[in-house]
Structure 1
Amino acid sequence: QNSSGTQISNNIFLFTGSNVANMNLGGNSGLNFQNNLTYSYNSTLDDLSGTNNLNNQDPLFTNFNSGIGLNSSSNDYNIQSGSPAEGAGTDGNDLGVFNGGFPFDIRGYPTELPYLTDFVIFNNIISAGTPLNINIKANANINN
């Protein structure tokens, strides 16, 4: 709230509500939007202030269902070939969370570290100097 002088770049702002017309910026008059895309599945949005913004353009996600939650792991926020977000970033990369091949995981798992899938403590009551017996299972996050 009440931000000023803030540069907001290379994003995709997506709305699935039926009564959204603008970003409701309130007292944030000093925001500078550059190379962003806005899209609403149910209404027309007001244009963003700033330069090189793609207002009211479908980002053409690989797989997106506007009827389920935006954070659903069944949505695929990679963009299809021919998307207006393709190459539209300030750096010439794509807009959105996968900008420039960024290793983003919709589930929130770390991208460069394995993540735990199972953690069992076999002897949870021990005295000092006694070994703690555990079993840990983890999966790699990136498939390469």
Structure 2
Amino acid sequence: MNEAVRDPAKPTNGPIIEIENLSISFFTRKGEIPAVMDFSCTVMPGEAMGIVGESGCGKSTVSLGIMRDLSNIGKIVGGRIKFQGRDMGEMSEEELRAIRGNKIAMIYQEPMASLNPAMKVGQQLMEVPLIHDKVSKDEAYK
């Protein structure tokens, strides 16, 4: 099948994700600040990977870079990220939205940093099937 037209949401037999020499920098008025340099990994179907390290070492930056969800000052300056055989740098915003939260997600170490305390946890968890799977509220709750 032609890789350019393959649905990124459909599973493949190869790696789920391949990251080759990922480098991410933040650009400020004072110049470029390298945050991640030459990060590489491969995750195969059935495998799980955790990123651990001291505070400020780039764990969250790598995860946000994988999802192509860096702030307006963050930028991938090198390397390549493939999801199910497809280069994420070549995906449209619509294609990225279709897999974020549905096929690729980030689980924060500190839930208070990512959960909205003004909203019930169940409502927050229901957002993914409501948005991505277009199911009813009852189905999402189940």
> Taking structure 2 as the reference length, what is the TM-score of the superposition?
0.26
Relative contact order (C-alpha < 8 Å, sep 6+): which is higher?
2
Greater fraction of residues in helix? 2
Query: TM-score, length-normalised on structure 1?
Result: 0.25
Bigger radius of gyration, 1 or 2? 1
